[in-house]
Amino acid sequence: MTEEIRPRLLIIGAGPAGGMAATVAASLGADVTLIEDSIIGGAAHLLDCIPSKTMVASSVRRASVRDSAKLGFVVDEGHMDLGRLAERIDTISSNLSQNATAILEDQGVTIIHGRGSFTGPHSAVAEMSDGSIEIEFDQALISTGSAPRVPEWVVPDGERILTTRDAYDFETVPEHMVVIGSGVTGVEFVNIFSSMGSKVSLLVSRQQVLPHRDPEVAAAIEADFLERGVSLLKGARAVGIDVEEGAVIVRAEDGRSVRGSHALLAIGSVPLSDKLGLEDAGVSSDHGYISVDEYQRTSQPHIYAAGDVTGQMPLSSVASMQGRKIAHHLMGLQVRPLDYAKVAQAVFTEPEIASVGLEEADIAAAGRRIRTTKVPFASNSRSVIHGNTHGFVKVFSDPATHEILGGTIVGHRASELIGILALAVQGRLRVEALVETLMVHPSLSESITEAAE
Ligand SMILES: Cc1cc2nc3c(=O)[nH]c(=O)nc-3n(C[C@H](O)[C@H](O)[C@H](O)COP(=O)(O)OP(=O)(O)OC[C@H]3O[C@@H](n4cnc5c(N)ncnc54)[C@H](O)[C@@H]3O)c2cc1C
């Protein structure tokens, strides 16, 4: 009897990309070794996605309890117990990590807790606290993620000047948070701290928050921020931060400045690829981002890269889908490259923002004819009953074929509702399919079928 040859797959980094690739490749028969220098689940579980959404859950709950008097439920003003919140974040991260570890172990993945780097095109080393191991591999995946970008004009101290990774553990609610950066991460932290009761100032380097999004979406979020008393400084590019006793002063290029208790940098991320021995492996990168083709293969076709380290679309959902497709590809299965235009994404503000497929501006820029239909949540019975009437659903379709090309939702639970439109876009459904779907009444989903009409 001949023994089956199992490909030896080495994965460096166990975030959503590496974790998913390891699980799927092992289940398909690969001999997988996974090196991780932090927790299984990666920065997504420990530092970014999960802790920030846990903070959203608590801070938004506070805001909704505060606003519940309009629903006839009157409570005395509560207070945030930040010690308990920090504990909850730790528990959630470690439970998720333990579950992910158990799944990997069940699949027979060898987990090495250490730092991985390449020593050649088919060899690597894992440095652990008590020694090192040399590893030979047939195929490899680089999924080492990213770290917050820190501009050259500031050194975060983790006390007053913070990156997003320092923003989960406070003793008391910050008095005045100055958020620098108005992309997705910046506006999510504005939501968190203003819902917790902090005064918040937001430095917006351009003329609208979420600069690459539909202006109508940005306007809805700006209106909500202004209603909450958030101070928006538009056209304010931060160039320096001074620390004085108990305060920070954030300076903008045009001479304006804001004094607050803390400053939070939310200005993007940088890839973690500098100490990986990429040159020894013969893997090319561009400004640290690892270059890949549509199947996530690097300049060395037997070495793949996925997730934030590629700079493609920095989302956990994308990273894990890339990991899944890589596992299939390296095991010789047929793979359809990921279509980034069909990725559903959300911004966890309140109201939430979610979109899938093409946005209105993209379709118009491509010179394609488009039919846009829009329904406000103010006309949805469930929204009115729950007192969450902010926002709208927009559906974009092809006027000739009626195919649904995309959609945008601003509103309560938009991140969940967008799934309906994601399925429609992925399945290339026509508007009739949505219009004829009978949703529950009263429900928020009814606005989606109505918007497709
Ligand atoms: C504040 C914030 C909130 C976010 N919220 C969301 C969200 O709501 N939804 C969403 O989809 N995305 C969200 N994201 C983005 C998401 O977190 C990332 O896209 C995702 O973590 C990328 O996954 P990854 O697999 O590339 O790597 P990561 O999750 O970054 O994990 C990589 C792992 O590799 C390890 N590593 C690095 N170098 C080595 C080495 N040499 N040896 C061994 N191990 C190594 C790292 O320690 C890390 O644990 C958020 C990001 C931020 C900053």
Calculate how far, in angstroms, residue 306's C-alpha sits from the geometric centre of ligand 1: 11
**Mutational test site, ligand 1, from 48, 285, 289, max ligand atoms within 8 Å of CB:** 48
What CA–CA distance (Å, rounded) separates 97 from 311?
A: 24
Q: What is the pTM of this model?
A: 0.95
DSSP letters of 370-398?
A: -EEEEEEGGG-HHHHHHT----EEEEEE-
The answer to whether 113 and 52 are in contact (CB under 8 A) is: no
Nearest CA to ligand 1 atom 21: 44
Residues in contact with ligand 1 by the CB-under-6-Å rule are 12-18, 35-38, 42-44, 48-49, 52-53, 115-117, 143-146, 164, 185, 272, 276, 307-309, 314-317, 319
Judge whether residue 3 has pLDDT over 60: no
Residue 284 in 3-state DSSP?
coil
Helix 82-106 with 16-27: angle, nearest 10 deg: 30
Nearest CA to ligand 1 atom 27: 145
Report residue 31: phi and psi, to 5°.
-95, 100
Calculate how far, in angstroms, residue 272's C-alpha sits from the geometric centre of ligand 1: 10
CA–CA distance from 22 to each of 110, 146, 393, 422 (Å)?
Answer: 10, 19, 38, 26
Calculate how far, in angstroms, residue 21's C-alpha sits from the geometric centre of ligand 1: 14
Nearest CA to ligand 1 atom 12: 315
Residues 152-205 have pLDDT tens digits of 999 999 999 999 999 998 999 999 999 999 999 999 999 999 999 999 999 999
Alpha helices in 210-368 (DSSP H): 215-227, 278-281, 316-330, 360-365
Closest CA to 19 of 34, 31, 38: 34
More confident residue, 230 or 370: 230
pLDDT category of residue 363 using cuts at 50, 70 and 90: confident
**Mutational test site, ligand 1, from 10, 40, 46, 49, max ligand atoms within 8 Å of CB:** 49
pLDDT category of residue 362 using cuts at 50, 70 and 90: confident
Return the pLDDT at 371: 93
Residues 6-46 have pLDDT tens digits of 889 999 999 999 999 999 999 999 999 999 999 999 999 99
What CA–CA distance (Å, rounded) separates 320 from 16?
A: 5
